[in-house]
Amino acid sequence: MAGAFWCVVEDDRQGHPKKVTAELIGEAHRRATDLGGAAVEAVWLTDRAAPEGLDQLAAWGASRICLWEDPALAPYRGETWVPVVADLAQRESPRAIWGAVTSRHRELMARLAARLDAGIAADCVAFSVADGQLVATRPVYAGKLLSKVRWKTGPWVATLRPNVFKAAEAETGKAPAVERQTLAAGTPATRFVERREEAQTGLPELTEAEIVVSGGRGLKGPENFVLLEELAGVIGAAVGASRAAVDAGWKPHRFQIGQTGRTISPKLYIGCGISGAIQHLAGMRTSKVICAVNKDADAPIFKIADFGLVGDLFEVVPLLTEEFRKLKK
Ligand SMILES: Cc1cc2nc3c(=O)[nH]c(=O)nc-3n(C[C@H](O)[C@H](O)[C@H](O)COP(=O)(O)OP(=O)(O)OC[C@H]3O[C@@H](n4cnc5c(N)ncnc54)[C@H](O)[C@@H]3O)c2cc1C
């Protein structure tokens, strides 16, 4: 619908929208209200949309769901996805198009903005409305400063950091208004060759997790990440790593937090054996509560930590795990 807020659905590849989509929809409703009201709609490109996934989007408040459900949409390829959203945007002129700060949405939204000749505010952590225009707040200089930006032309294309915005409350009993769209036939320039599934850890995904336990060079070796995994298992956290740990080959790159890794905003971040280099802080500075375990009382991470534990992580982490285990019992 013209003038609507579009929220591009990020899903679990199994047909269900992820929690960050509820955050997009929740924030879109708040800003649409500030602007005097506008429809909030979901735009979903997927190879499978579960019926309960569609119900979920309606319950979160998407008044319309534009759905492309086609095997050609998986795995994600910018060249396949971008024209689909761009064509609809050119026909309907939405006021805003929002995605999440995830690997595929980061690329999708940047390419989409270029295609629409619009600006993009990437990695947003807040929005406000001034003079009938949307104003986005986003970290700059590795998170040292926050900058406020406006768009010169619409639509307002943006990516929103997970775990920052309040998620829409689910209201049951709303029937999803689904508009099934047909994918235009085309011959993509790239061809899908092979899919390798990552081994399941049983822990939440790093960028979506509400709690993250992260390890650095202080862990001394890959085998010691098991200490963090045990703690993470007890408190329902995801495990992350510093670049030093990743460069040493202790963890794959997808675990890396920081400027050249993932950006996270959990409710609780626990850094163990991490010094707190500016490039690491760039990826976790917006965590709500930051805890650090480091044997060096002068480690820079203590400057931004809400709670600091000066001590040997090999003693402290097992104790924390044990205490949390007792509390949970
Ligand atoms: C362009 C660029 C991009 C970068 N991008 C990233 C990025 O995305 N993410 C990132 O993390 N880094 C990044 N870096 C690297 C960054 O500058 C740091 O080198 C890196 O973060 C250091 O990792 P670390 O804290 O694990 O290691 P170190 O700096 O070596 O710190 C290890 C810490 O462990 C503590 N320690 C040691 N033993 C124990 C123990 N037994 N118990 C408790 N504490 C202990 C030490 O006191 C120390 O503070 C980037 C650098 C550059 C130049």
Model confidence at 224, pLDDT cuts 50, 70, 90, reads very high
* Beta strands at 133-140 and 145-150: parallel, antiparallel or unpaired: antiparallel
What is the distance in A from the centroid of ligand 1 to the CA of 277? 6
**Which residue CA neighbors atom 18 of ligand 1 most closely?**
277
What is the distance in A from the centroid of ligand 1 to the CA of 289? 20
CB 212 within 8 A of CB 287: yes
Kindly list the distances between the CA atom of residue 146 and the CA atoms of 4, 134, 194, 257, in Å, as whole numbers in the listed order: 27, 16, 41, 19
DSSP string, 174-223: PPP-EEE-PPPP---SS------PPPP-SSPPTTT-SEEEEE-GGG-SGG
Answer whether 154 contacts ligand 1 (Cβ < 6 A).
Answer: no
**Residue 186: predicted pLDDT:** 76
Task: Report, as an integer, the average pLDDT of 290-301.
Answer: 98
Q: Which ligand 1 atom minimizes the distance to the CA of 260?
A: 8
In terms of phi and psi (left: phi > 0; alpha: psi -120 to 50; beta: otherwise), the region of 328 is alpha
CB 92 within 8 A of CB 208: no
Answer whether 63 contacts ligand 1 (Cβ < 6 A).
Answer: no
Task: Report, as an integer, the average pLDDT of 108-120.
Answer: 97
**Residue 189: predicted pLDDT:** 82
**Residue 152: predicted pLDDT:** 94
Q: Which residues contact 250 (CB under 8 A, 6 or more apart)?
A: 219, 221, 222, 225, 241
Answer whether 142 contacts ligand 1 (Cβ < 6 A).
Answer: no
CA 261: distance to chain centroid? 13
How far is Cα 152 from Cα 220, in angstroms, rounded to an integer?
A: 50
Answer whether 115 contacts ligand 1 (Cβ < 6 A).
Answer: no
Task: Report, as an integer, the average pLDDT of 114-131.
Answer: 96
Task: Report, as an integer, the average pLDDT of 179-196.
Answer: 84
Answer whether 277 contacts ligand 1 (Cβ < 6 A).
Answer: yes
Task: Report, as an integer, the average pLDDT of 296-303.
Answer: 98
Task: Report, as an integer, the average pLDDT of 150-157.
Answer: 96
**Residue 219: predicted pLDDT:** 98
Helix (H, G, I), strand (E, B) or coil at 45: strand
Nearest-Å Rg of the Cα atoms of the chain is 21
Answer whether 260 contacts ligand 1 (Cβ < 6 A).
Answer: yes
**Residue 141: predicted pLDDT:** 86
- CA angle at 126 for the pair 85 and 238, rounded to the nearest 5°: 85
**Which residue CA neighbors atom 7 of ligand 1 most closely?**
258
Q: Which ligand 1 atom minimizes the distance to the CA of 244?
A: 23
Dihedrals phi, psi of 2, to nearest 5 degrees: -60, 140
pLDDT at residue 200 above 90?
Answer: no
How far is Cα 312 from Cα 329, in angstroms, rounded to an integer?
A: 26
**Which residue CA neighbors atom 6 of ligand 1 most closely?**
279
Percent of the chain with pLDDT over 70: 100
Compute the mean pLDDT over every residue in the chain, rounded to the nearest whole number: 94
Per-residue pLDDT reduced to its tens digit, 226-285: 999 999 999 999 999 999 999 999 999 999 999 889 889 899 999 999 999 999 999 999
Per-residue pLDDT reduced to its tens digit, 27-66: 999 999 999 999 999 999 999 999 999 999 999 999 999 9
**Residue 318: predicted pLDDT:** 98
Length of the chain measured in residues: 329
How far is Cα 113 from Cα 152, in angstroms, rounded to an integer?
A: 12
CB 57 within 8 A of CB 12: no
Q: Ligand 1, from 207, 259, 281, 298: best to mutate by most atoms within 8 Å of Cβ?
A: 259
Answer whether 232 contacts ligand 1 (Cβ < 6 A).
Answer: no
CB 146 within 8 A of CB 139: yes
pLDDT at residue 105 above 90?
Answer: yes
What is the distance in A from the centroid of ligand 1 to the CA of 213? 15
Task: Report, as an integer, the average pLDDT of 136-143.
Answer: 89
pLDDT at residue 199 above 80?
Answer: no
pLDDT at residue 202 above 90?
Answer: no
Model confidence at 163, pLDDT cuts 50, 70, 90, reads confident
